[in-house]
Amino acid sequence: MSGMLTAWVTELMTGAPINQATVSISNKQKETNQQGLCTIEQYNTENDERREVQKKRKVNNREHGILVVAKDDDLCMSVNIYTDASVLNAYVWHVFNDRGLYKPKEDVHIKGYVRLLKVKGEAKLPTYARGTIDYTIYDPRGQQLQQSKVELNIYGAFDIKFTLPDNVNLGNGYVTFSLPDSQSSTTHYFKVQEFRKPEYEVSSMVRPTIARYCHPIVDEYVIATCQGKLFAGGYLNDANIQWTVQAGTTTFTPPKRSDYIFGRAQPFFCWFGNNNQTEISYPENYHGIEQEPRTTIVHALAAITDLNNQTQETKTQFIIHPCTYYVGFQLSTNYGKKNKPVQTKVIVTDIDGNLIDNILIECKVIGYGKERKEDENGLTVFEEIKDEQTLAVVSSNKDAVNIDYTPKLGR
């Protein structure tokens, strides 16, 4: 086979073109010009004997050669220089399916277009193919599932549909298409599995795009939205959505105030949880927790099911604040002694952590202990006693205020 080759030779370090470099391939050689270019025409990549063997065996392999470039003492080789045979009139295929991955007993839809490229001058013009296409369907192990014919329409297009058997082998199945009169054919592959990966991704959000709502507006609507986006592009349409809304207690610390304790403190020597959750049937209103003003978190879970019965879930959440301001305290120590003040700092902040001025803070401190006494029979008993103190102070927007508590119990 004869071909035409254009070589461009440049310097490895700088990329500058190399002049007068000798380029040779098979039985031809030529020197590059000042741009580092040279063109070799009508070079043979194979001998006639090998081409004749391939012709008899009907092998359609591309032929290749070795390109050698020499300049002074430098030598460079490039292997596998391929040459493709140019066919005057050729059929081209474009075949695709609706999904790519199927389960047993599902329908497979395959559509395709066939064009005949006719050479006119230096151009190849596509024309609509005509005739009947023979196609054969094979499972992943090469067993024939179906054989039939389909007629091309006036636009050179075809559309077939078939159902996979219940006991079909899993793996990569394929369909062979051929035009009997032109000896042109193509193969289209599809996957068969018991399950398939999702074809789309889901997301959800709360509108407006703020994650906090206060009790003065609890009866107003909170809009939760979700969407499904196909990996192949575009958005998921006509999908069923099932919403589940749940509310539970949580903790909240205003920004930049992590050194203070807000809400209910959890002692380091024990743990008590707040895992009580209340299920709410959408779209009923939620009025918070009546017994105690505590931060509430609401989860909105959306289960999206597409037309292929694939279900994916997405969840968004938002916080309901029990009030406009938060009060936080900070102990200088976790231990105290009787009749010795325990230094305590208190602040009042808004939801964003900004200090609020002139807010009355009432602090109730309750201490529990046991006192040793003798009963009426002269026996030693331990009675529970309680030390309850109420302290008050006004907040400042400059810094934390001090509330010193003096224990009356203990040693």
- CATH code of the domain in which 152 resides: 2.60.40.1930
**Residue 347 vs residues 257, 262, 393, 403: alpha-carbon distances, Å:** 10, 10, 10, 10
Domain boundary among the residues 61, 83, 105 is at 83
Q: Which of 19-23, 54-58, 149-153, 167-171 comes out lowest in average pLDDT?
A: 54-58
* 117 within a domain of the structure (yes/no): yes
The label of the residue with tokens 């596509």 reads: 126
* Average pLDDT value for the chain: 80
* 264 within a domain of the structure (yes/no): yes
The predicted pLDDT at position 274 comes to 40
The predicted pLDDT at position 57 comes to 46
* 411 within a domain of the structure (yes/no): no
pLDDT bucket at 45, cuts 50 / 70 / 90: low
Convert the pLDDT of each residue in 158-199 to its tens digit: 999 999 999 999 999 999 999 987 678 999 999 998 876 667
Convert the pLDDT of each residue in 330-383 to its tens digit: 888 777 788 888 888 899 998 888 999 998 988 888 888 888 888 888 788 888
Instruction: Based on the fold, state whether residues 17 and 33 are members of the same structural domain.
Output: yes
Q: Is residue 164 within 8 Å of residue 105, measured between CB atoms?
A: yes
- pLDDT at residue 35 is higher than 90: yes
Q: Domain limits at 12?
A: 2-83
DSSP, res 342:
B
DSSP, res 287:
-
DSSP, res 350:
-
Instruction: Based on the fold, state whether residues 60 and 126 are members of the same structural domain.
Output: no
Q: How far is residue 168's CA from residue 264's CA, in Å, rounded to a whole number? A: 61
Q: How far is residue 151's CA from residue 129's CA, in Å, rounded to a whole number? A: 11
Report residue 217: phi and psi, to 5°: -125, 30
pLDDT bucket at 319, cuts 50 / 70 / 90: confident
* 334 within a domain of the structure (yes/no): yes
Instruction: Based on the fold, state whether residues 206 and 314 are members of the same structural domain.
Output: yes
Q: Which of 191-200, 244-253, 273-282 comes out lowest in average pLDDT?
A: 273-282
What is the DSSP pairing of strand 223-230 with strand 157-163?
unpaired
pLDDT bucket at 19, cuts 50 / 70 / 90: very high
Task: Give the rounded percent of residues in the chain with a pLDDT score beyond 70.
Answer: 81
Report, as an integer, the average pLDDT of 388-396: 87
- pLDDT at residue 61 is higher than 50: no
Instruction: Based on the fold, state whether residues 72 and 152 are members of the same structural domain.
Output: no
SS3 49: helix
* 410 within a domain of the structure (yes/no): no
Q: Which of 139, 159, 136, 134 is nearest to 149 (CA)?
A: 134
Q: Which of 30-44, 52-66, 187-201, 241-255 comes out lowest in average pLDDT?
A: 52-66
**Residue 118 vs residues 92, 123, 130, 178, 239: alpha-carbon distances, Å:** 11, 8, 14, 19, 46
* 409 within a domain of the structure (yes/no): no
Instruction: Based on the fold, state whether residues 275 and 360 are members of the same structural domain.
Output: no
pLDDT bucket at 109, cuts 50 / 70 / 90: very high
* 351 within a domain of the structure (yes/no): yes
Instruction: Based on the fold, state whether residues 316 and 330 are members of the same structural domain.
Output: no
pTM: 0.43
Instruction: Based on the fold, state whether residues 63 and 109 are members of the same structural domain.
Output: no
Convert the pLDDT of each residue in 198-226 to its tens digit: 677 888 887 754 555 554 345 567 778 88
Q: How far is residue 145's CA from residue 163's CA, in Å, rounded to a whole number? A: 10
| Pairwise pLDDT comparison (83 vs 212), residue with the higher score | 83
Q: Which of 9-23, 74-88, 105-119, 141-155 comes out lowest in average pLDDT?
A: 74-88
Instruction: Based on the fold, state whether residues 231 and 316 are members of the same structural domain.
Output: yes
Q: Which of 62, 64, 72 is nearest to 25 (CA)?
A: 64
Find the helix or strand (DSSP H, E) in which 242 lies: strand 240-249
Instruction: Based on the fold, state whether residues 233 and 129 are members of the same structural domain.
Output: no
Q: How far is residue 141's CA from residue 139's CA, in Å, rounded to a whole number? A: 5
Domain boundary among the residues 261, 295, 321 is at 321
The predicted pLDDT at position 164 comes to 94
Q: Is residue 138 within 8 Å of residue 174, measured between CB atoms?
A: yes
* 225 within a domain of the structure (yes/no): yes
The label of the residue with tokens 């401190």 reads: 365
Find the helix or strand (DSSP H, E) in which 55 lies: helix 48-57
**Residue 191 vs residues 101, 102, 110, 138, 167: alpha-carbon distances, Å:** 5, 6, 13, 12, 15
Domain boundary among the residues 192, 221, 241 is at 192
The predicted pLDDT at position 247 comes to 84
Instruction: Based on the fold, state whether residues 230 and 309 are members of the same structural domain.
Output: yes
Identify residue 245 by its one-letter amino acid code: V
> In total, how many domains does the chain have?
4
Tally Cβ neighbours within 10 Å of residue 390.
9
The 10 Å CB-count burial string (b at 16+, else e) for 33-46 is: eeebebebeebbbb
Instruction: Based on the fold, state whether residues 284 and 340 are members of the same structural domain.
Output: no
Instruction: Based on the fold, state whether residues 151 and 44 are members of the same structural domain.
Output: no
Q: How far is residue 188's CA from residue 176's CA, in Å, rounded to a whole number? A: 6
What is the distance in angstroms between the CA of the first residue and the CA of the last residue of the chain? 106
CATH of the domain at 210: 2.60.40
